[in-house]
């Protein structure tokens, strides 16, 4: 039986959050009443002409640089011709053989191992309007009428095309997540999958392991979460392997991911080969990126998630935690950095920040936690003044009140008793009351110690430092 190797490439469409659209002055804005942000240009009225948005071009150059691409010194817009009711000019201004950015890479991290994924290109284009099909379950072929909203028409769109370097559904998901984190870091897009401001399509093929040539690829669309991307790719891989093992062929086509059915279905029945008749957009001049501008944008790039991940790993944070921390909210990362600067252990801090603190802040958003405060809390745990579970309680209250850990612990009466005299007395009392247990311990049954620790803890109301109780018990039992 043949072993199959999946080959996956991802195409990403990123809607930029520039103030205005790609080729006109209309606002880029989500969730407004239909056809409120429109003008002759983005409606494709006769005589209207495009003027390229400099801020959008700067964004794509930054994306290209962050993906280690070469920025073309000169790049050209093309017209991609096809008829569709929500495409007002019946051509899309895009880029064909002269994209802004080419030949880059993104290091992704999956289960602690790093993997370099090639980036073929990133190019600039404009988004289409939206068709809102009325009746017939919202499907175009059964709808009774269709309404058109052109608010999205002309929103700047960056398409990023990876090389077919991904080898599993999990890798596809990791790539998508890491790329999304990079886009978010650059602050060029809302990058929300559910709103469609970042959209992933996957090109999937399979081939026998060791084969040099690629199999026939299928493009899958309509995945609106990372989970559905992973599921869709996995399902498509399975479908193709089943076809090939059954002696059939894979047909080159576009397939639609059906979230409920958990499978892909053919989307374009009469696919044929679409001929977009690309040609140079005569209404726009070639884009020229001066070397000093590109250099400036390069040096102004923020620290990127992959680099940050390496930095955290270098500090001693485990790979998986470092990945989560590298992609998390900047506010949480600030707290992490401050806490470590205040003396906390990086790995322990990272676990707290990506775990408990993330959970608490998700429930109760607050800006009252400082890194120093977290460092104080972790120090109390380390010094035996707080148990881990009590520390979680303290953290919740710190977030709510903004008070220091020691103050909160005291107020909530959660401080561990580390007064040796009190513990000595409590231990003595417990041992006196439990001669049978003492005898069993002394005869070598060491696990009885747990029972005794429990009793001491109960008698101190749970506030004794368990470590100290354990030590004191052992000493008195020997003595």
Partner 1 sequence: MADLADLTVATAGERLATGEASAADLLDAVIRRASLTEAELHCYVTIDHDGARRAAEESDHRRSRSESRGPLDGIPLALKDNFCTRGLETTCSSQILSGYRPPYDSTVVARLRDGGAVIVGKTNLDEFAMGSSTENSAFGPTRNPWNPERVPGGSSGGSAAAVAAGSALAAFGSDTGGSIRQPAALCGVVGFKPTYGLVSRFGLVAFSSSFDQIGPLARSVADALTLFEAVAGHDPLDATSYPGTVPEARPSLETGVKDVRIGLVRELSGEGYEPAVTAATNDMVAQLEASGAIVSEVSLPSFAIALSAYYLIAPAEVSANLARFDGVRYGLRVTGETVEEMMARTRAEGFGPEATRRILLGTYALSAGYYDAFYGQAQRVRTKLINELANVFEQVDVLVSPASPTTAFELGAKTQDPLAMYLTDVCTIPANLAGTPAISIPVGLDADGLPIGFQVMGPALGEARLFQVAAEVERLATFDHRPEILAAAGDRL
Let me know: does 312 contact 354? Beta carbons within 8 Å: no
Residue 263 as a binder of partner 1 (CB under 8 A): the answer is no
What are the helix (H) ranges across 218-327? 226-245, 291-299, 305-314, 319-327
Residue 20 as a binder of partner 1 (CB under 8 A): the answer is no
Residue 272 as a binder of partner 1 (CB under 8 A): the answer is no
- By beta-carbon proximity to partner 1, the closer residue of 91 and 352 is 91
Taking CB under 8 A as the binding criterion, the range among 54-62, 75-83, 188-196, 329-337 that sits at the site for partner 1 is 75-83
- By beta-carbon proximity to partner 1, the closer residue of 272 and 444 is 272
Q: How far apart are CA 351 and CA 475, in angstroms?
A: 34
Residue 215 as a binder of partner 1 (CB under 8 A): the answer is no
Residue 34 as a binder of partner 1 (CB under 8 A): the answer is no
- By beta-carbon proximity to partner 1, the closer residue of 105 and 278 is 278
Radius of gyration of the chain (CA): 30
Q: In terms of Cα–Cα distance, which of 303, 302, 329, 322 is closest to 114? A: 322
Nearest approach in angstroms of CB 295 to partner 1 is 25
Taking CB under 8 A as the binding criterion, the range among 162-170, 213-221, 282-290, 337-345 that sits at the site for partner 1 is 282-290
Residue 286 as a binder of partner 1 (CB under 8 A): the answer is no
Query: Which secondary structure element, helix H or strand E, spans residue 172, and what is its range?
Result: helix 169-186
- By beta-carbon proximity to partner 1, the closer residue of 140 and 422 is 140
Q: What angle, rounded to 10 degrees, do the helices at 420-433 and 466-478 form?
A: 60
Subset of residues 91 to 110 that bind partner 1, contact rule: CB under 8 A: 91
Nearest approach in angstroms of CB 266 to partner 1 is 19
Which listed residue (284, 294, 315, 372) binds partner 1 by CB under 8 A? 284
Residue 19 as a binder of partner 1 (CB under 8 A): the answer is no
Residue 144 as a binder of partner 1 (CB under 8 A): the answer is no
Which listed residue (90, 142, 266, 428) binds partner 1 by CB under 8 A? 90
Q: How far apart are CA 14 and CA 192, in angstroms?
A: 9
- By beta-carbon proximity to partner 1, the closer residue of 91 and 257 is 91
Two structure tokens written together for 348: 């322990």
In sign, the C-alpha dihedral spanning 144, 150, 151, 155 is positive
- By beta-carbon proximity to partner 1, the closer residue of 176 and 287 is 287
Residue 478 as a binder of partner 1 (CB under 8 A): the answer is no
Nearest approach in angstroms of CB 142 to partner 1 is 12
Which listed residue (16, 28, 42, 50) binds partner 1 by CB under 8 A? 50
Q: How far apart are CA 21 and CA 19, in angstroms?
A: 7
Torsion of CA 135, 84, 24, 39, to 10 degrees: -50
Taking CB under 8 A as the binding criterion, the range among 42-50, 217-225, 394-402, 440-448 that sits at the site for partner 1 is 42-50
Residue 47 as a binder of partner 1 (CB under 8 A): the answer is yes
Taking CB under 8 A as the binding criterion, the range among 50-58, 243-251, 327-335, 449-457 that sits at the site for partner 1 is 50-58
Q: In terms of Cα–Cα distance, which of 237, 260, 303, 339 is closest to 5? A: 237
Count Cβ neighbours within 10 Å for each residue of 24-40 and write b for 16 or more, e otherwise.
bebebeeeeeeeebbee
Residue 279 as a binder of partner 1 (CB under 8 A): the answer is yes
In sign, the C-alpha dihedral spanning 252, 253, 254, 260 is negative
Nearest approach in angstroms of CB 252 to partner 1 is 16
- By beta-carbon proximity to partner 1, the closer residue of 115 and 146 is 146
Residue 48 as a binder of partner 1 (CB under 8 A): the answer is yes
Q: In terms of Cα–Cα distance, which of 197, 146, 247, 177 is closest to 13? A: 197
Residue 439 as a binder of partner 1 (CB under 8 A): the answer is no
- Residue 427, exposed/middle/buried by CB under 10 A (0-12, 13-18, 19+)? buried
Let me know: does 254 contact 271? Beta carbons within 8 Å: yes
- By beta-carbon proximity to partner 1, the closer residue of 89 and 333 is 89
Which listed residue (17, 21, 62, 89) binds partner 1 by CB under 8 A? 89
Query: Which secondary structure element, helix H or strand E, spans residue 428, and what is its range?
Result: helix 420-433
- By beta-carbon proximity to partner 1, the closer residue of 116 and 277 is 277
Let me know: does 319 contact 109? Beta carbons within 8 Å: yes
Torsion of CA 346, 348, 350, 355, to 10 degrees: -170
Residues of this chain that interact with partner 1 (CB under 8 A) are 40, 43-52, 79, 81, 83, 85, 88-91, 146, 148, 273, 275, 277-279, 282-285
């Amino acid at each position: 039986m043949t072993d199959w190797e999946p080959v996956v490439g991802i195409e990403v469409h990123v809607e930029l959050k520039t103030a205005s659209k790609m080729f006109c002055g209309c606002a880029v804005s989500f969730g407004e009443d239909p056809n409120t942000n429109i003008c002759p240009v983005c409606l494709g009225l006769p005589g209207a002409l495009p003027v390229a948005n400099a801020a959008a071009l700067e964004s794509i150059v930054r994306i290209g640089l962050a993906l280690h691409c070469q920025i073309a010194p000169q790049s050209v817009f093309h017209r991609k011709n096809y008829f569709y009711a929500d495409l007002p000019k019946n051509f899309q201004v895009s880029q064909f053989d002269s994209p802004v950015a080419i030949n880059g890479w993104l290091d992704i991290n999956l289960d602690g191992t790093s993997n370099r994924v090639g980036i073929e290109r990133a190019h600039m284009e404009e988004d289409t309007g939206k068709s809102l099909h009325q009746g017939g379950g919202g499907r175009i072929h059964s709808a009774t009428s269709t309404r058109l909203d052109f608010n999205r028409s002309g929103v700047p769109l960056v398409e990023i095309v990876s090389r077919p370097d991904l080898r599993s559904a999990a890798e596809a998901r990791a790539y998508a997540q890491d790329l999304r984190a990079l886009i978010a870091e650059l602050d060029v897009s809302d990058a929300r999958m559910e709103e469609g401001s970042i959209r992933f399509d996957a090109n999937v093929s399979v081939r026998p392991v060791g084969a040099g040539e690629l199999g026939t690829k299928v493009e899958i669309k309509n995945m609106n979460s990372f989970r559905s991307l992973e599921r869709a790719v996995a399902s498509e891989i399975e479908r193709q392997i089943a076809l090939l093992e059954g002696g059939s062929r894979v047909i080159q086509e576009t397939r639609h991911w059906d979230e409920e059915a958990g499978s892909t279905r053919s989307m374009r029945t009469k696919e044929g080969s679409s001929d977009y008749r690309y040609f140079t957009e005569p209404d726009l001049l070639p884009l020229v990126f001066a070397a000093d501008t590109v250099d400036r944008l390069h040096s102004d790039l923020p620290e990127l998630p992959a680099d940050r991940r390496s930095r955290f790993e270098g500090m001693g944070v485990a790979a998986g935690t470092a990945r989560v921390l590298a992609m998390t909210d900047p506010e949480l990362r600030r707290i992490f950095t401050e806490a470590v600067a205040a003396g906390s252990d990086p790995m322990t801090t990272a676990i707290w920040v990506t775990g408990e603190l993330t959970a608490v802040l998700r429930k109760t958003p607050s800006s009252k936690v400082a890194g120093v405060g977290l460092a104080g809390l972790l120090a109390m745990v380390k010094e035996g003044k707080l148990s881990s579970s009590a520390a979680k309680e303290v953290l919740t209250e710190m977030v709510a009140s903004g008070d220091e850990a020691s103050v909160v612990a005291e107020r909530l009466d959660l401080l561990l008793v580390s007064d040796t005299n009190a513990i000595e007395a409590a231990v003595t009392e417990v041992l006196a009351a439990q001669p049978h247990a003492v005898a069993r311990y002394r005869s070598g049954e060491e696990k009885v110690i747990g029972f005794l620790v429990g009793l001491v803890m109960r008698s101190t109301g749970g506030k004794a430092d368990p470590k100290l109780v354990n030590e004191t018990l052992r000493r008195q039992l020997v003595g």
